[in-house]
Amino acid sequence: MLAAVSESQTSNRIGDSAASSPSPSDGSGGLARGQLRLQVLWSLPEGHQRYLFEEVHKLCRSHLRRQRVPPSEMTPEELVSEIWQKLIGTVSLLDAESSDCFPVNPREWSVDPHAPERDGRVVWLVEEIGGSEALMHRREDILRQRYGRSLPGGGRRIAQLSSENEIDPDPSRAEPLEETDARYVWLGLLAAADLVFSQNDDASMLLRLMAEDPDILGVSSTGRWPVRLIVTLLNSRFPSATWTDDRVDNAKRRLVNWISRLMRKNRLDATDLEALFAKVARQQESGEREIQIDLHHTNLVS
């Protein structure tokens, strides 16, 4: 019954969602598609949204019935939640993503403000998220959250359940909450920046330096960047490149502009952004822990 959905090594089970949506040809196209879905959903009038929500409910119910999935295994509400959680949780990191690869041209859609069933945007969204394949993927996502990835020979590894482990990574650490939060925010920022800037990029090197060395930012009480100090530290830490004031300034400007665009595009305020970065770090850590659990469990049962 579940074998129809192929197991992709790349699908993300690090956190509460997964990237297993069908994409046209490559990963970036699929991700851009996710953004488009959210943007289109948000552009719909309320009546159209209501119609879409009801349609998705119906499709989920009929899908589970057709697949003979008992409510004890999965309810339509769970499937509906998973669909919307994935769609609404889409984030644009910009820079690394290009709108050129959008699979459709929204200008070609017919827009009917009175009849949602004839509105091209609604029809497209229903096809995108309510299709049989998409629903199978969301079901697979839910099952992975509960039991982990399916094994090559069928069935699933019996492992510690990931959804139970979303907690403070090490409660025995006697670290003040504020410091823990800050650490996660920086780690999350580093993880996100790593997706946009290559490791050898000036911006990335600058960010790593600042995240690891708190003294740099504490030096200036005026809020200005201690560029000279940063230049010295970067030259000693990354001797392969010659750092100058201009170069640091340029890297700083790119970083700040990226964060600015990130906030603006995703319409996040400072608190949201910090919470998001902290969550990214926690999920990344949780993913690493799952790998350790897998390793451990393999040893345990072998």
228-267 residues in contact with other proteins (CB under 8 A) are: 255-257, 259-261, 263-267
Question: Stretches 112-120, 132-140, 228-236, 290-298: which one binds other proteins (CB under 8 A)?
Answer: 290-298
| Residue 267 in tokens | 């319409």
SS3 state at 121 = helix
Question: How many amino acids of this chain bind other proteins (CB under 8 A)?
Answer: 139
Residue 3 interacts with other proteins (CB under 8 A)? no
Residue 26 interacts with other proteins (CB under 8 A)? yes
Supply the DSSP string of 151-182, one letter for each residue. Answer: PTTSSB-----GGGG-S-S-TT----HHHHHH
Question: Stretches 110-118, 230-238, 242-250, 286-294: which one binds other proteins (CB under 8 A)?
Answer: 286-294
Dist CA 76 CA 110 (whole Å)? 30
| Residue 62 in tokens | 């009929």
Dist CA 59 CA 130 (whole Å)? 6
Instruction: Compose the 55-94 pattern: x for residues touching other proteins by CB under 8 A, - for all others.
Output: -x--------------xxxxx-xx-xx--xxx-xxxxxxx
Question: Stretches 38-46, 110-118, 227-235, 243-251: which one binds other proteins (CB under 8 A)?
Answer: 38-46
90-149 residues in contact with other proteins (CB under 8 A) are: 90-94, 96, 98-100, 102, 105-107, 146-147
150-189 residues in contact with other proteins (CB under 8 A) are: 156, 158-161, 163-173, 178-179, 181-183, 185-186, 188-189
Residue 45 interacts with other proteins (CB under 8 A)? no
153-160 contact pairs (CB < 8 A, 24+) = 154/3, 157/294, 157/297, 158/297, 158/301, 159/290, 159/293, 159/294, 159/297, 160/293, 160/297
Question: Stretches 109-117, 229-237, 241-249, 269-277: which one binds other proteins (CB under 8 A)?
Answer: 269-277
Q: How many helices (H) and strands (E) does the chain have?
A: 11, 0
Minimum CB separation from other proteins for residue 289, in Å? Answer: 8
Residue 287 interacts with other proteins (CB under 8 A)? yes
Query: What number of CA atoms fall less than 13 Å from residue 266's CA on the CB side?
Result: 19
Minimum CB separation from other proteins for residue 294, in Å? Answer: 8
